[in-house]
Amino acid sequence: MTDATKSERRSRRDADGRLASFPDLIGTALAGLLAGFVVLVVIEGLLSLVRLSDFGGASGWIALVLPVWLFSEEFRAVGWGGARIVVGLLGIGFGIAAGMTLAGLAAGPFPALVSGAIGAFALTVVYSAVWFYGLRWLSHRAG
């Protein structure tokens, strides 16, 4: 594999270490969410096989571990400034609102594993959009 092929497959980052485009950010965040959900389903399956719990009883919100890690690294890479705090708080607020709304709607027909995963998906998408576009908009307005 050549160096050019390796660099095409890696996510593009800017000089500060942040993901350079929205597709890179949302793709990386959703890949982490999917990986977390798969691990959670495997653990749930194993626990139900040994009869320690019923399948689907764990919260799907646990799948957010890797996206939260990504978002905290993005937050750190921005550096000091009020824009990152304002956009971060807005992203968290809107993301939690969207996630809790969809998880609440899905809670009736689906188990906690699925409804929580739906909420985690919504939070990831909304936070990614608010973070990426909000930060660039505020940076553009300030500069």
Name residue 19's beta-bridge partners: 13
Mean pLDDT by groups of 10 residues along the chain of 143 residues: 54 68 87 92 86 74 89 84 86 94 89 89 94 82 62
Q: Which residues contact 95 (CB under 8 A, 6 or more apart)?
A: 122, 123, 124, 126, 127, 130
pTM value?
0.80
In the chain, where the domains are located: 19-142
